[in-house]
Structure 1
Amino acid sequence: MERTIVHCDLDTFFVSVERLINGSLVGKPVLIGGSSDRGVVSACSYEARRFGVHSAMPMRLAKQLCPEAILIRGDMELYAKYSNMVTEIIEETVPVVEKASIDEHYIDMTGMDRFFGSWKLAQELRRRIIKETGLPISLGFSVNKTVSKIATGEAKPCGERRVEKGTEKGFLAPLSIRKIPGIGEKTYPLLRNMGISQIRTLQEMDALTLRRVLGQNGVVIWNKANGVDNSEVIPFHQNKSISKEHTFDQDTIDMVQLRKIMLSMADELAFDLRRDGRLTSCVTVKIRYSNFDTHTMQAKLPYTASERLISEKVLELFNKLYSRRMLIRLIGVRLSNLIWGAQQLDLFEDRIEDINLSRAIDRIRIKYGHQAIVRGFAL
């Protein structure tokens, strides 16, 4: 059976939501992110992009490039609300949905041709989302996730693009290698130094050559350049919380040890959030004493995946909660009120240095494992 995969992406999602609330923002350059000069741009409108502004850019530079831009702090709770509205509409229409991020979905429509016509159904679904939410959304349609995602990019803003089976290579050939998912900050300059700028050149190369240069990832990129991607659409399931606990071999009141373990748990949980593309707005600390009395305390915070912000809140809660001065048997940390959203989208007031450090650590951990690099407090 021929696969049919749809990719949907809400255009400039945060900006679009803000414009629903405040119509005067329509047509104007808009920046969403930290208001301090050390903050970063979480999202920006197409009008701001014409000045060279892009997400994750230092806010100070963005304001220099586009001094007329309107700066908005951002409201992750509001964005999550609209994201869930879109997800509910999609889930009502199709059986298999993967929510890749707060503004991005993959849909497997394989086998639905015999009922309605997959392309027509995808078009009607897009129109329904626009009508019921007021949000602009673009759509890509093909036989796999990679081609559909790239097709969505070519359909923007607020458009749709169908790539017929058998035409994937021709569709991809003239496009920039930047369009291929997986070619990032390190791989792109490496390929450009080899004189490769268009996907066509990758298609003409031997897969073994790319493997010698990029390792196994070179084969993955070669397959994607040739329109080959067998990855499945993973049905959407959202955990309500994530947590970690530590039970001591011997009950303790060693504050140095307790602090180190709590910070390590907060760091691991924050990494799990960023790896999965999620954010939290509620932190809970749990203490079980030697007599098995168990106490918890929780606190709200702005949606985040920052280990710095989460760690600060964990220590603050522990200091408030631990008042009995008894031996501790177990401590735990739980993150709840989870939503979808990438790391740079929530750190409205975080410094670009903190974000870059977290990204560097994340890349090492994803490649070599969590224990490949640890923060100083865990030593």
Structure 2
Amino acid sequence: MQKDKHIIHMDQDAFFVSVEVRKNPGLIGKPVIIGGSSDRGVVASCSYEARKFGVHSAMPARMAKQLCPHAVFLRGNMDEYSKASHEITDILKERVPLIEKASIDEHYIDMTGMDRFHGCMKYAHELRATVIRETGLPISFGLSVNKTVSKMATNECKPNGELNIEYPGVVPFLNPLSIRKIPGLGEKTFIKLSDMGIKKIETLSQVPIDHMTALLGKNGLSLLQKSKGIDFSPVIPYSEAKSIGTQSTFKSDSIDIVMIGNLLTAMVMDIAFQLREQKKLCACITLTIRYSDFEDVTRQASIPYTALDSVLIAKAKELFRQLFQKRKLIRLVGVRLSNLVTGYEQIDLYSQSEEQYSLYQALDKIRHRFGSKSIAIASTMNINL
């Protein structure tokens, strides 16, 4: 265990709901559900008041209404949530030496070595106060020796809390907690371990390494280390340059707008799938056109965080229409998605019906099993990337 490390995990409290409450203080103290505006919708987020009734994200809206019929249901606005996320990131980036944007609503901060100049707990407290003061949004944090323990500390003190788990207190803090509290431990693994009588972290920490690796492979070793408070994963510096993209050069220069539109659709579907495979969302899309005379023109647009095919395809085609003003042959088109953060489970749930969300999951399972080109929409079937 790296006892000399000082890692802060900062996480917004019910982020989407908090943004709505900032806009409409009349929602304070009420059960609020984002994304369940129709019976066929899916819950994207909910307030702590709604969670008391068993409501949680990704739950079908009709079930949420049964559990909490008196809740305030809102469609949600991913554009506003994305802007609020950037607000918070900008505040933190100006004040810390090393920051990782782990998702739309959480950050890791490495303060190691700064304890010589600042008390890390005092500085983290002041950071939290600054975010609350400048944005009007609630935030919690955990401070500990690594990312895993700091994140678990945050989860234990939410909402609107702060918790410091120093090195000597890591194991006593972890031992009584449910294994469900370990970041990255999925539902299937939880059931498998629970069926074996492993329900508390203390019990898990005592399982022999060979048993865990035989049961869960490399993931078993990782979970065993986390149960002992061990995590060597670094805080990865936040960079807007992180991106994923593709481009296609035509066999012969073309001005066939229908064909190019279908090509863009296929290209975006391919990289959006890759994005979801990496459990990422993007906040920027860039389109490039190369004309037959080798002139390159590029345009980009900031977008609400998403990894959804339909949103990205529409924006790519909009950028193409903005760029393609000359009656010149095109030899290449390229699409790039950037400003990536973790957040697969938050993919525009508020704008999707339960059936649409299930469809995207089903299509991704097919691609994951048989390859990214194994399924496509009809208009792109004759396109070769």
Equivalent pairs: percent with the same residue? 52
Q: Among 96, 105, 108, which residue is 1:106 paired with?
A: 108
Q: 1:300 to 1:97 in 2, by over 3 A?
A: closer
* CA–CA distance in structure 2, aligned partners of residues 89 and 316 of structure 1: 32
Name the stretch that deviates more: 24-33 or 165-174: 165-174
Q: 1:78-127 CA deviation, whole Å, 9 max, x = no partner? A: 22232222222222322011111121011111111111211221122222
Structure 1 residue 185 displacement after superposition: 2.9
Secondary structure in structure 1 of the residue aligned to 2:94: helix
1:56 aligns with 2:58: yes
Change (3 A) 1:363 1:124: farther
> Does structure 2 conserve the Cα–Cα contact (< 8 Å) formed by 1:6 and 1:109?
yes
Which of 156, 159, 172 aligns to 1:157? It is 159
Give 1:278's match in structure 2, choosing from 269, 281, 292: 281
* Alpha-carbon distance between aligned partners in 1 of 2:334 and 2:268, rounded to the nearest angstrom: 10
2:376 aligns to what? 376
Give the conservation status (yes or no) of the 8 Å contact 1:101–1:342. no
Contact 1:35 1:349 in 2 (8 A): no
C-alpha separation between the residues in 1 aligned to 2:367 and 2:167?
37
Do 2:246 and 2:334's aligned partners in 1 also have CA atoms closer than 8 Å? Answer: yes
Change (3 A) 1:121 1:285: closer
Hey, what does 1:329 align to over in structure 2? Answer: 331
Q: Select which of 186, 192, 209 maps to 2:211.
A: 209
Q: How do 1:55-94 residues align onto structure 2 when only pairs under 5 Å count?
A: 55-94=57-96
How many aligned positions are there? 376
Cα 1:19–1:10 shift into 2, 3 Å: same
Query: 1:276-307 CA distances to partner (integer Å, 9 max, x unpaired)?
Result: 63244x75655445455667788887653211
What is the root-mean-square deviation of aligned Cα atoms in Å? 3.3
CA contact (8 A) 1:172 1:200 kept: yes
C-alpha spacing 1:315/1:227, structure 2 compared with 1 (3 Å)? same
TM-score scaled to structure 1, two decimals?
0.85
Q: Does residue 130 of the first structure (1) align with residue 132 of the second (2)? A: yes
C-alpha spacing 1:134/1:322, structure 2 compared with 1 (3 Å) = closer
- 2:145 aligned residue: 143
The amino acid that maps onto 1:223 is: Q
What 5-or-longer segments of structure 2 have no aligned partner? none
Structure-2 separation of matches of 1:46 and 1:188? 24
CA contact (8 A) 1:5 1:148 kept: yes
| Aligned CA distance change for structure 1 residues 131 and 292 (closer, same or farther; 3 Å) | closer
Q: Which amino acid aligns with 1:376?
A: A
Alignment of 1:234-313 (within 5 A): 234-239=236-241, 243-251=245-253, 261-274=263-276, 275=278, 277-280=280-283, 286-290=288-292, 292=294, 303-312=305-314
Unaligned runs of at least 5 residues, structure 1: none
